[in-house]
Structure 1
């Protein structure tokens, strides 16, 4: 049986939710879902497909993403591996913020990372005000007010375009 590994760096769970959604499309694969924050050291050569998903918080990916890539860079380059970025800016699809070329976060990632994935997805995340600590809630509210987003701290808003995620999943599933 074919194998796929889905590695995620998620703060509030939306990246994990997106990877779980993609994983459901991988019928005929034995799939593993792994948290990058746990500092895993899987043998990537055992997998036919590798997908790494990471979220942005305050303009940055978590350091565990870069540590993982540093350790596994050669395996990632020589495998069928893809990357996806989850952030709130990607909600601005009309400004192409949901594309690798239009995402400042992906562009920074490509400059900083030792890995340049051939396939990259950019998806809007979710705003989970009630789950945030007070300081995070206020900082995110400030950022959202500056960018024209939701500022009602009693709300949770999911911006993820699930059709776009499904299209990415289908493309990644058939990539050779």
Structure 2
């Protein structure tokens, strides 16, 4: 049994929803799982695995994610680890992998950490959950990218099978200390 920490940075709650789903999956596989918002992160001591999930807002991950990774890079590298990104652009087949997602590629270029497991998941489009300005900016972007623009839309673009597959790979990842033995 592993002690697993799942950290998230979420604006409207969908990344947190994905993290809590992952926690249930990992718990069913026998892991002891703690889920925490990045700003309330416990010390990494005592955890064998660390998974970080972050949403995209206005084309970028929350700056706190990059700062957290920089401050804890050595500890992250000493454990089984992973990172995933959640965005509406990942709803598109040609932008839904770590290799093809422009936000993931830009983020990885800005950090020194190389997560052992990577994933990109489609997010949730809920116009009624956004403020006036965000709702109209997102509607304009959706119009330009041929996405849904109906202001009453509430769509989830998350491929839950893809989430399951990622969690399965993450759960079977060995801790670097175990690999050296």
- Give the Cα–Cα distance (whole angstroms) in 1 for the partners of residues 84 and 159 of structure 2: 13
TM-score by length of 2: 0.91
Q: CA RMSD in A?
A: 1.1
Pick from 166, 169, 176: which aligns with 2:167?
Answer: 169
Higher mean displacement: 134-143 or 68-77: 68-77
Deviation for aligned residue 1:114: 2.4
Deviation for aligned residue 1:78: 1.5
State the aligned residue count: 172
Deviation for aligned residue 1:63: 1.1
Cα deviation 1:135-162 (Å, max 9, x = unaligned): 0000000111111111011111100001
Cα deviation 1:76-130 (Å, max 9, x = unaligned): 112101000000111112x2x1111101111101111121112101000000110
- Give the Cα–Cα distance (whole angstroms) in 2 for the partners of residues 78 and 144 of structure 1: 41
Q: What is residue 35 of structure 1 aligned with on the other side? A: 37
- Give the Cα–Cα distance (whole angstroms) in 2 for the partners of residues 169 and 2 of structure 1: 13
Deviation for aligned residue 1:3: 0.8
Say if 2:10 is the partner of 1:7: no
- SS in structure 2 of the partner of residue 24 of structure 1: helix
Unaligned ranges ≥5, structure 1: none
Deviation for aligned residue 1:39: 5.0
Q: What is residue 63 of structure 2 aligned with on the other side? A: 63
Aligned residue runs from structure 1 range 112-151, under 5 A:
112-151=110-149
Deviation for aligned residue 1:24: 0.9
Which consecutive aligned stretches of 4+ in structure 1 deviate over 4 angstroms post-superposition?
none
- SS in structure 1 of the partner of residue 26 of structure 2: coil
TM-score by length of 1: 0.94
Cα deviation 1:24-58 (Å, max 9, x = unaligned): 1113222111111x253x32131111100000011
Higher mean displacement: 66-75 or 128-137: 66-75
Unaligned ranges ≥5, structure 2: 175-181
